[in-house]
């Protein structure tokens, strides 16, 4: 087991374990990586106002979300091609999330099939969907996900086109041999590169992804798949309101970890507006730069029901497979527990906006 004390150390520890192109694909963001850095710094700019002399001898971090009870409010964000980090890939991530009683969100572009991952999960995993131009392909994917018992459908809405990730362009990023978009093996050819100097992912998106998806398509999605629908990548209050009006079941405030629109607002700064727009009946989650238990507490104080964590999971996976991912999630959970105690909160519902100064 590679020792680490906190999630901020992980990237440097994982770097020597990975080929440069894989490390860059995991770590990088779009263009100048302004949003990538700002997501993290924005948390540091929020100060806490602890409440004292509260009985915090017993603390409860559990919560319910879309019909499932999670042990603590941290889910695993969808991330493509996890077998590039460790041979067990998504299987290890699923097992770690299962052992800690939280939800794993499986990417459309996972390197293990949705059917193989499902039995490794204790809570019903969520499935993140990218809509392909070939709607029949997407409908087939959704039928498979519903048939094997996923818990929600997460439509990523911040990616009509792929952000330009310059590290991947420089590296002409390709998944290494033996790692592929496992769900897509039937029908798309998927990861084969061309002689052009661009990343394989960028070319895949340009060729197959549907940039024409609008609010109108939510009805088609709902008809095609009866699972609760979550929109990932909502950054504005007016879009949040529109989503609520369309009957969306939950929202994720996300800028894709700074991988899409560079200089987009840091997610924690967009959260309160989105939560207000969504109203009381649509749970709002947030991801991007969550690395500390105090970050989770700040997100909840500003209106999130839960957070998702991305890259640290990949670093944990690269270091120690399932054990590494478990350690990442446990560290965040334990830090949140401490932060709650020190802020005078025994349960998540004790965490309110009064605890933060923005």
Ligand X SMILES: Cc1cc2nc3c(=O)[nH]c(=O)nc-3n(C[C@H](O)[C@H](O)[C@H](O)COP(=O)(O)O)c2cc1C
Q: Which residues bind ligand X (CB under 6 A)?
A: 25-26, 39, 77-80, 107, 109, 128, 156, 232, 254, 256-257, 259, 287-290, 309-311
Asked whether 260 and 159 are in contact (CB, 8 A), the reply is yes
- The β-bridge partners of 155 are 129, 231
Q: Which two tokens stand for residue 92?
A: 């290890």
CA distance 26 to 311: 7
CA distance 268 to 261: 16
Closest by CA to 111, choosing from 136, 147, 82, 139, is 82
- The β-bridge partners of 63 are 70
DSSP 8-state secondary structure symbol assigned to residue 155: E
Residue 63 or 296 with smaller CB distance to ligand X: 296
Kindly state the smallest distance separating residue 344's Cβ from ligand X, in Å: 27
Kindly state the smallest distance separating residue 89's Cβ from ligand X, in Å: 12
Catalytic pick from 86, 132, 209, 256?
A: 256
Residue 229 or 345 with smaller CB distance to ligand X: 229
Residue 201 or 355 with smaller CB distance to ligand X: 201
Q: Which residue is nearest to ligand X (CB)?
A: 310
CA distance 122 to 118: 9
Residue 79 or 264 with smaller CB distance to ligand X: 79
Kindly state the smallest distance separating residue 256's Cβ from ligand X, in Å: 5
Active site residue 86: no
Kindly state the smallest distance separating residue 260's Cβ from ligand X, in Å: 9
CA distance 290 to 218: 29
Residue 123 or 286 with smaller CB distance to ligand X: 286
Closest by CA to 7, choosing from 333, 301, 300, is 333
CA distance 54 to 247: 39
Residue 253 or 272 with smaller CB distance to ligand X: 253
Q: Could you tell me whether strands 68-70 and 63-65 are parallel, antiparallel, or unpaired per DSSP bridges?
A: antiparallel
Closest by CA to 285, choosing from 164, 162, 152, is 152
Kindly state the smallest distance separating residue 54's Cβ from ligand X, in Å: 30
Residue 109 or 251 with smaller CB distance to ligand X: 109
Kindly state the smallest distance separating residue 132's Cβ from ligand X, in Å: 13
Kindly state the smallest distance separating residue 51's Cβ from ligand X, in Å: 28
Q: What is the maximal distance between C-alpha atoms in the chain?
A: 65
Strand spans (E) along 24-168: 47-48, 63-65, 68-70, 74-76, 105-106, 126-129, 152-156
Helix (H/G/I), strand (E/B), else coil: 20: helix
Residue 263 neighbours by CB distance under 10 Å: 12
Would you name the residues annotated as active-site residues? 256
């Amino acid at each position: 087991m590679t020792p680490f004390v906190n999630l901020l150390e992980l990237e440097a520890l994982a770097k020597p374990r990975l080929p440069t192109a894989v490390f860059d694909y995991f770590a990088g963001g779009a263009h100048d990586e302004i949003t990538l850095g700002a997501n993290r710094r924005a948390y540091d700019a929020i100060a806490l106002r602890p409440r004292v002399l509260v009985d915090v001898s017993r603390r409860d971090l559990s919560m319910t979300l879309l019909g499932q009870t999670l042990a603590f409010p941290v889910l695993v964000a969808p991330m493509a091609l996890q077998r590039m980090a460790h041979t067990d890939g998504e299987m290890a991530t699923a097992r770690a999330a299962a052992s800690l009683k939280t939800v794993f969100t499986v990417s459309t572009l996972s390197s293990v099939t949705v059917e193989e991952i499902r039995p490794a999960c204790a809570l019903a995993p969520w499935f993140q969907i990218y809509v392909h131009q070939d709607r029949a392909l997407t409908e087939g994917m959704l039928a498979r996900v519903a048939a094997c018992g996923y818990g929600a459908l997460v439509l990523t809405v911040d990616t009509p086109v792929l952000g330009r990730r310059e590290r991947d362009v420089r590296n002409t990023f390709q998944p290494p041999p033996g790692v592929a978009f496992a769900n897509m093996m039937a029908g798309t050819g998927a990861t084969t590169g061309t002689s052009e100097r661009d990343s394989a992912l960028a070319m895949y998106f340009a060729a197959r992804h549907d940039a024409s998806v609008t609010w109108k398509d939510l009805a088609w999605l709902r008809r095609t798949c009866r699972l609760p629908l979550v929109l990932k990548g909502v950054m504005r209050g007016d879009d949040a309101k529109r989503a609520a009006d369309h009957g969306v079941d939950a929202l994720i405030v996300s800028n894709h970890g700074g991988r899409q629109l560079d200089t987009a607002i840091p997610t924690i700064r967009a959260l309160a507006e989105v939560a207000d727009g969504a109203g009381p009946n649509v749970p709002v989650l947030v991801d991007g730069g969550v690395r500390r238990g105090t970050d989770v507490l700040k997100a909840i104080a500003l209106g999130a029901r839960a957070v998702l964590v991305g890259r640290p999971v990949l670093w944990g996976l690269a270091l120690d497979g399932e054990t590494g991912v478990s350690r990442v999630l446990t560290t965040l959970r334990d830090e949140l527990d401490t932060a709650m105690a020190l802020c005078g909160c025994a349960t998540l519902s004790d965490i309110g906006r009064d605890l933060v100064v923005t």
